Amino acid sequence: MSDRTAEPEPRTTVLLRRGEVHSPADPFATAMVIERGQVAWVGSEGAADAFADGVDEVIDLDGALVTPAFTDAHVHTTATGLALTGLDLSGAPSLEAALARVRAFAAARPADRVLLGHGWDAARWPGGRPPTRAELDEATGGRPLYLSRIDVHSAVVTTALLDLIPADLPREDAPLTADAHHTVREAALAAITPAQRAEAQRTALVRAAALGIGTVHECGGPRISSEDDFTALLKLAGTLRGPRVVGYWAEQNVDKARELGAAGAAGDLFADGALGSHTACLHEPYADAGHTGTAYLDADAVAAHVVACTEAGLQAGFHAIGDAAVTAVVEGVRAAADKLGLARIRAARHRVEHAEMLTPETVAAFAELGLIASVQPAFDALWGGEDGMYARRLGAERARALNPYAALLRAGVPLAFGSDSPVTPLDPWGTVRAAAFHHTPEHRISVRAAFTAHTRGGWRAVGRDDAGVLVPGAPADYAVWRTDELVVQAPDDRVARWSTDPRSGTPGLPDLSPGRELPVCLRTVVGGRAVFVRPGE
C-alpha cells in the first residue's frame, strides 16, 4: 500500500449530521464522528447533540448519504490516465468514426514521438473488422501509433511503429496478440516521458477520488507497464492527497515484488488472455474460431509460484478468464496446498483476477482454497446478453454461464469488485448496478451484496478485515452522495420485501434500477482527509 506515514495524522474532530449513514453499527444512523483519521462514533441525530460543542467542525449533510468509500480492486492507473487525457476509442460507433478520431488526435499532437490510443472494439462495429495497417498509416500521416483493443490483449499498430522495433514481428494485416503484442506495447509505453506518466497517473487518481473511490489496486507487471511506472505511482500516491494505492506486481519473482513494494506477486500474471481477442484459454474451441486460445501458465507453474509467495508471506494471484486457464490455476493452487497445508494457503488469500468461465467444480475449489475472486461486473454489462460478444465467441449456452456471482457468494467465495480500467471505466455505482442486473438472472446478487464486494471486499482482498465499513475504529474512508430515496434491491422479491420492513434493520442504498440516475459524489475522504469536494459543496 502507498506510504502515507510522511503525512501527519489529521488532528481535527469532525461531526457529520442530518444525513443517512450506511453503517452496520446502527442501521438508522444519521450522524457520524471522525477523530484522528478513524470513525469514532455513529448514531442518531438526538445523540449527535452531545458531540456538537466538542468537535472542531460540523458538516451539515442536508439529507445526503454517507457510505464507505469504494475500493476498485483492479486498475491500470497510467493507462487509465492516458485514456482520460488522450485517444479513447471506446465510444467510437464505427470503424470510420474511429479513423476520424485517429486523424484528429494525430493532428492535435504533432510533437508526440509515438501516438497512443485505446478502446477500439471491432465486435461492436458494423462489419466487425478492425482498422487495417494501411488505414492507420494514412490516418496518422505515417507516424508511429499503438492502439490497444478494449480488453488490452491485442493491438493494431502502424508500419512506422513496427519499424522502430528491432524484433522480427508479424507484418500481416491482423491485430497483434500474445508475445508480439507485449513487444509493441513495451516499445510504445517506453516513449512516454516521466512528466507524461505523472500527469496520467495524477489524472486517473483525481478521477477516482471524484467518483467516491478511496482505494485502488494497481495491477502492474513487466508485460503491462514497467518497474519505473509502478514505483513512480506508489511514490506519487504516498504524497498526493488522493486515493490509497495497493500495488500488485505480476511477475514470477517474489524478490522483485518485495523489492518494488508490492503487496503480492499477483494481479495480471497471465494464465491466459481475453475472450474478445480469442486468447482466453478454453477447454473447447471458440464458436467463431477453430482453436482454444492461448495458455501462458500450466498447473505446475501456478503451484511453484503459489508455494514461493506463501513461503515469502506475499499474495499470489493470476489473470484467468477461460475455463481451461481457471482449471490450471485451481489445480496449481491445490497442489501447493498439498505441499504446504490447506490452512497456510487459505490464510494467504491468494487472488484470481476476472475468473469469468467458472464451473460448479471450480467455484467449489475457490471456496475450499480460500481464493479471492477479483471480478469486473461491467464486463457482463458490456459484452453479455444473447447478442453480445460473449455469445459470438462462445455460443449462447456457454456465454450464459459466465460471471456467476450468485453461485460464488452461495459457496462463500470472497468477492472484490473492480473495473480493470481502462478496459471498462472507473464507475463504482455502475459496477454495483451491473452485478445486481446481470444479463443472466440466476447470476444476479443483491445491491447490498454487490456494494459490499466493492467496498469491504477490496479491503478483505488485501488482508484487512477492519476496514471498508463505517464502524467505530475503522479507517475514516468514506464518501458523501446526493441521491434519491434509499431502497433495498434483491433478486428475490421476498427478501426485498422483508429487508424494507423497519424490523429487519437493513440499511437502504440508492435505487440502481437501469435507466435511473446514479448517485453524485459530493465529497470523498481518505484517512480523515478530504481528497475530493465537489465545487459548490
Domain coordinates of the chain in residue numbers? Answer: 13-68+469-483+519-533, 77-190
Q: What is the pLDDT of residue 1?
A: 56
Q: What's the pLDDT at 225?
A: 86
Q: What pLDDT is attached to residue 186?
A: 86
Residue 1 Cα distances to 231, 234, 247, angstroms: 11, 8, 6
Contact 176, 155 (CB under 8 A): yes
How much is the pLDDT for 4? Answer: 46
pTM value is 0.91
pLDDT the model gives residue 493: 60
DSSP, res 251: S
Distance CA(235)–CA(226), nearest Å, equals 14
Find the DSSP H helices in 173-295. Answer: 178-190, 194-210, 227-239, 254-259
Q: How many Å apart are CA 537 and CA 44, to the nearest integer?
A: 23
Total residues found in the chain within this entry: 537
Which pLDDT score, from 0 to 100, does residue 101 have?
96
pLDDT value of position 254:
96
Q: Report the pLDDT value the prediction gives residue 343, as an integer from 0 to 100.
A: 98
Topology of domain 13-68+469-483+519-533 in CATH is Urease, subunit C; domain 1 (2.30.40)
394 SS3 class: helix
Mean pLDDT by 10 residues, the chain (537 residues): 54 93 94 96 92 93 97 97 90 96 94 90 92 96 94 91 85 85 87 90 98 98 92 96 97 96 96 96 97 97 98 97 98 98 98 98 98 98 96 97 98 98 97 98 97 98 96 97 91 55 71 96 97 90
pLDDT at 152: 86
Report which residue type is found at 157.
V
Instruction: Give the C-alpha distances (Å, rounded to integers) separating 136 from 123, 152, 153.
Output: 18, 18, 19
Closest residue by Cα to residue 277 from 359, 383, 427, 164: 383
User: What's the pLDDT at 498?
Assistant: 45
- Helix boundaries (H) for 53-150: 77-85, 95-108, 133-140
- The CATH code of domain 77-190 reads 3.10.310.70
